[in-house]
Amino acid sequence: MKTAFIYTDELAKFKYSDTHPLKPFRLKLTYELIKAYGLDDIDNSIFKKPKIVNEEILLKVHTHDYLDVLKTLNSGIDVPYASHFGLGYGDNPIFNGMYDWSMLVTSATVEAANIILSNEANIAFNISGGLHHALPNKASGFCYINDIAVAIKYLIDQGKRVVYLDIDAHHGDGVQHIFYDTNRVLKISIHETGYYLFPGTGFVEEMGEKEGYGYSVNVPLPPYSDDEVFHYAFDKVVPECIDRFKPDIIVTQLGVDTLYDDPLAHLNYSIYGFSSAVEKIKNLGIPWIALGGGGYDIASVAKAWTVAWAVMNNKDLNKNIPEDFMKTYGKYGFENDDLFGPRYELVEEQKKKVLEILDREITFIHKKIMPLIKDR
Ligand SMILES: [Zn+2]
């Protein structure tokens, strides 16, 4: 087994705004914690900086007009019709370097794809990637360029069959939309139900269209779902779908806004629950492009993705965060905390209700969707 980590400190220099919940600084925090645990210097593992890709590869997914607007705004020049492209208010602010940021993230994801294609590693992890909401001509949900879709398009154009597995708290709507009509990509998303959370989609009935009919699998979870509920859904859906599809490559979006202390979503996973999902994905033994995603409590993000990287490399970590790291970065929310944090569990009564709802959805998936998934 070989692993690769794609990262540069350049990523952490961008800023959406002072108050925006998505803080690129969380990436540096993660990298520093990885180093503090000595996980930057292990056998059979490489660290790589992204090489900026050519814009051509973006144009396979995004429109010319949209990229031009992003580039203009990037340099501080105003575009009067920017709001038509989802830009300039609340979620998707205009900031200096916004195109450069998106380009760097996407380049790192494409780098991960190239590492997997060339067998340089079996697992490639880009913590900055996973911007799953961006649409071909529109920014959405903090995402300007859909790095995931760009990389998946690049892979399927080379004849690969790809499973896209998204375990972020939010539905992976952008990726689903872009590949909705193709059976070359099996899209699986386990997320908090759209009844309560942005983007308001990701219901079981969204099954795909045309050749892609049966190749979108959505498992919406009720708010407050915990580790046990998540793994119940994961085990009943993910292995069988993947087994039926027989992919060449798996691409995962490992958003951690699912954790109990995330300020934006209402799920209650712990880092234990998250990391055992990472373990299950690893055990599938499929060449794997692992990406980041949401996560708005920056200390939890750093902890969760450090643990994920340890799992990918078969390393166990001491739960006490190294002292040197605490001295410099403890102030960012690591105080009085261990690496894995607490576990939250639904009370029996609630759990029964949540599992009942979930069982109806899982039955639908087993009866109506899974039989449509074919391996060629
Ligand atoms: Zn999210």
- Is pLDDT of 262 > 80? yes
Could you read off the pLDDT of 100-115 as tens digits, one per residue?
999 999 999 999 999 9
CA dist 234 and 237 (Å) reads 5
CA dist 132 and 210 (Å) reads 22
- Is pLDDT of 255 > 80? yes
Residue 369 burial (C-beta neighbours within 10 Å; 0-12, 13-18, 19+): buried
If you average pLDDT over every residue of the chain, what do you get? 97
From the CA of 218, how far away is ligand 1's center (Å)? 15
Average pLDDT over residues 121-142: 98
From the CA of 168, how far away is ligand 1's center (Å)? 5
Q: Which of 49-58, 136-145, 338-347 has the lowest mean pLDDT?
A: 338-347
| Number of C-beta neighbours around residue 137 at 10 A | 15
From the CA of 150, how far away is ligand 1's center (Å)? 19
Could you read off the pLDDT of 288-298 as tens digits, one per residue?
999 999 999 99
Best CA proximity match to 7, nearest among 45, 50, 39, 37: 50
Categorize the per-residue pLDDT at 333 as very low, low, confident or very high, splitting at 50, 70 and 90.
very high
Could you read off the pLDDT of 192-202 as tens digits, one per residue?
999 999 999 99
- Is pLDDT of 14 > 90? yes
In contact, 253 and 172? CB cutoff 8 Å: yes
From the CA of 255, how far away is ligand 1's center (Å)? 6
CA dist 146 and 63 (Å) reads 12
Average pLDDT over residues 297-304: 98
Please give the pLDDT value at position 341: 85
User: What proportion of the chain, given as a percentage, has pLDDT over 90?
Assistant: 96
Average pLDDT over residues 147-157: 98
- Is pLDDT of 342 > 90? no
Please give the pLDDT value at position 168: 98
From the CA of 192, how far away is ligand 1's center (Å)? 9
From the CA of 148, how far away is ligand 1's center (Å)? 14
**Joined tokens for residue 245:** 């599809």
Categorize the per-residue pLDDT at 34 as very low, low, confident or very high, splitting at 50, 70 and 90.
very high
From the CA of 308, how far away is ligand 1's center (Å)? 17
CA dist 99 and 199 (Å) reads 23
Is 133 tagged catalytic?
Answer: yes
Going from the C-alpha of 72 to that of each of 11, 28, 78, 106, 355, the distances in angstroms are 20, 27, 7, 18, 49
Domain ranges of the chain: 3-372
Categorize the per-residue pLDDT at 1 as very low, low, confident or very high, splitting at 50, 70 and 90.
confident
- Classify domain 3-372 by CATH number: 3.40.800.20
CA dist 268 and 271 (Å) reads 10
| Upper half-sphere CA count for residue 165 (Cβ side, 13 Å) | 26
Please give the pLDDT value at position 338: 84
Residue 265 main-chain phi, psi, to 5 deg: -110, 180
Best CA proximity match to 46, nearest among 125, 130, 148: 125
Best CA proximity match to 223, nearest among 176, 257, 272, 178: 257
Could you read off the pLDDT of 73-102 as tens digits, one per residue?
998 899 999 999 999 978 999 999 999 999
Catalytic option among 62, 64, 84, 133: 133
| Number of C-beta neighbours around residue 368 at 10 A | 13
Please give the pLDDT value at position 46: 97
